[in-house]
Amino acid sequence: MKTLLLFITIIVLFTGCSLFESSQEMEKNAEELIYDGSSAFAEGDYKDAVKAYTDLKDWYPFSKYAILAELKIADSHFHLEEYEEAIMGYEEFEKMHPKNEAVPYVIYQAGLCWFKQIDTVERDSSPAKNSITQFTRLIDQFPESEYAKKAEKNIKECVANLSGHELYVANFYMKTKQYKAALKRYEYIVEHYPDSKESREALNRISKCRTLADKK
């Protein structure tokens, strides 16, 4: 009997604490939370913005501000350079609200998250490839969007990074006497990036590379 009473007491204590915390947390309504989030966002306090918007989304999921909160959470992560979280936020927004007028912006921002992660040509080229995927999808689906023109400009920079990366790899193979591998890379550059300066350099090296490859 004593054990049972002790067990009930513990449950009551924990339940009481939980209810007390909830009442403390639930003091703000949706309007107050959207104000807090917007104010923090405007002042560049993006971590505070994420908290306010997340609280709004979690406590008032049917509020008229909930969709805006979802978008601003992703935007806040973007400004914090937390690109993985931002991409997840943008993708989830598009999945949940495919007809929303903000979708072109969301696709552009997802592409921009990858774009911001593009490094020098000797580094991983995945961010440039993923950027192109998002930007191309935006242009195909929303060619009249104001973000489509921005995407076109960014694609050019992505392509420059990719062609530079391919040339870097080809030259590496050439220096390490892996001539057949180098030849394939040079030919790939000429085929896929014909108007690039890397293509011109690749053309100049193909003949010598092919000769060396045939000798091996």
Q: CA–CA separation, 10 vs 30, rounded Å?
A: 33
* Residues 75-83, mean pLDDT to the nearest whole number: 98
Domain annotation for the chain: domains and CATH numbers? 82-216 (1.25.40.10)
| Model pTM score | 0.83
Q: How confident is the model at residue 68 (pLDDT cuts 50, 70, 90)?
A: very high
Question: What helix, strand, coil percent values describe the chain, rounded to 5?
Answer: 80, 0, 20
Query: What are φ and ψ of residue 22, in 5° steps?
Result: -65, -40
Higher-confidence position of 150 and 14 = 150
* pLDDT given at position 214: 82
Residue type, 191: E
- Tens digit of pLDDT for each residue in 133-172? 999 999 999 999 999 999 999 999 999 999 999 999 999 9
Q: CA–CA separation, 35 vs 40, rounded Å?
A: 8
Q: How confident is the model at residue 96 (pLDDT cuts 50, 70, 90)?
A: very high
Distance (Å) of CA 41 to CA 47, 53, 76, 160, 184: 9, 10, 7, 34, 49
* pLDDT given at position 25: 55
